[in-house]
Homo-oligomer: A and B are copies of this chain.
Amino acid sequence: MIKAGVIGATGYVGTELIRLLEKHSDVELKYITSKSYVGKSYDEIYENYRGVFDMECHEQDIEKIADEVDVIFMALPHGIASKEIDEKILEKAKVIDIGADYRISDQEVYESWYNTEHGSPELLKEAVYGLCELKREEVKKTRIVANPGCYPTCSILSLSPILKEGLVEEDSIIIDAKSGVTGAGRSLNIGTHYTECNESFKAYGIASHRHTPEIEEQLSEVSGSDIVLNFTPHLVPMNRGILVTAYAKLKSPKSYEEIKAVYEKHYGDEHFVRLTKEGIFPETKWVKGSNFCDIGIKVDERTNRVIVVGAIDNMIKGAAGQAVQNMNIMFGLDEKSGLEDVSIFPG
Contact = CB atoms under 8 A, between A and B. Distances in A.
Interface of A: 12, 15-16, 19, 22-23, 46-53, 171, 174, 176, 178, 180-182, 186, 188-190, 192-204, 206-207, 228-230, 232, 234, 236-241, 243, 245, 247, 271, 274, 276, 280-290, 292, 294, 298, 300, 302-303, 305, 307, 309, 340-347
Contact of A307 (B188, B194, B206, B300): B206
A298 B193 CA distance: 26
A236 B201 contact: yes
A347 B176 contact: no
A347 B239 contact: yes
Contacts of A344: 16, 19, 289, 344, 347
Given A203-B281, A234-B243, A302-B207, A48 B290 contact: yes
A285 B200 CA distance: 5
A23 B340 contact: yes
- Of A46, A276, A280, A285, the most chain B CB neighbours within 10 A belong to A285
B48 A309 contact: no
Given A241-B201, A345-B15, A302 B228 contact: yes
A243 B232 CA distance: 13
A294 B190 contact: no
**Chain copies in complex:** 4
Max chain B CB contacts within 10 Å: which of A181, A195, A199?
A195
Contacts of A193: 186, 188, 192-194
Contacts of A188: 188-190, 193
Nearest to A191: B194
B23 A309 contact: no
Contacts of A12: 195, 346
Contacts of A189: 188
- List the 5 closest pairs (A to B, CB-CB), nearest first: A200-B285, A48-B343, A202-B283, A207-B300, A195-B346
A305 to B, nearest CB: 6
Contacts of A282: 202
A201 B281 CA distance: 11
